[in-house]
Amino acid sequence: MSIIPLISSWEQYILTHPAGDLREFGRWIQTQPAQPSGLSPQPTDQSIAHATDPLPHARHSLATSADLNASAACALLINRLNAINHHRSKPIIRKLGLKDVEFGVLVQVHLLDKPNKKELCSRLLIEKSTGVEITRRLAKRGYLRETVDPNDRRSARLSLTEKGLHLLKEGSAGFKSIHTNFLVPLATDEQQQLVAMLTRLHEYHSSRVNATTEE
């Protein structure tokens, strides 16, 4: 059995994953479609160009001729993807009878597991007065409950009521297709790498925002 197809596959892999190793290569090759006669597809000039310098492709994708550096291109791409996600999510949230920020509050209360209002506002990056008004409105509609914090009687912890949980599950069902298809263009190993890189960015910038808030 010839090892030439395997070598060709390695050459293709290392062009697009220059920091990859053999273990990651093994996972990557399992995601590739089978090729006739055991041959792997050869990288095109375009794919090689994108692997070595993705900025021209990013500018083309963003429909701009501006001379963007990697940081600016990344920020614009993330912003554009967020806008697309928001556009697709809006009809689902409207159908639930909520505003975007109200649905976001319910999601974060569920994810943070009984946060107080300060923690909630910090996560959502909203003013405390805004957070208080929104939580009061959602509590009045029966979606949120407040309980006294046993460690601080002056503070209250937020949690979802059964009605709130039901609404959140209803919304989650509507989001299923959006979330399932969001990373479809990426191979499994690329998805994992993207999650890892976004997590690093999130932790770095969150720490800076938190430091600024506490000053």
Q: Which fold has domain 88-175?
A: Arc Repressor Mutant, subunit A (1.10.10)
In eight-state DSSP terms, residue 32 is S
Interval 82-125: pLDDT, tens: 999 999 999 999 999 999 999 999 999 999 989 999 999 999 99
Every domain of the chain and the residues it spans: 88-175, 183-215
Q: 144 phi and psi, to 5 degrees?
A: -125, 150
Interval 64-73: pLDDT, tens: 999 999 999 9
Q: What is the pLDDT of residue 177?
A: 83
Q: 100 phi and psi, to 5 degrees?
A: -55, -45
Radius of gyration of the chain (CA): 23
Question: In degrees, to the nearest 5, what angle opens at C-alpha 88 toward C-alphas 160 and 195?
Answer: 75
Prediction pTM value: 0.70
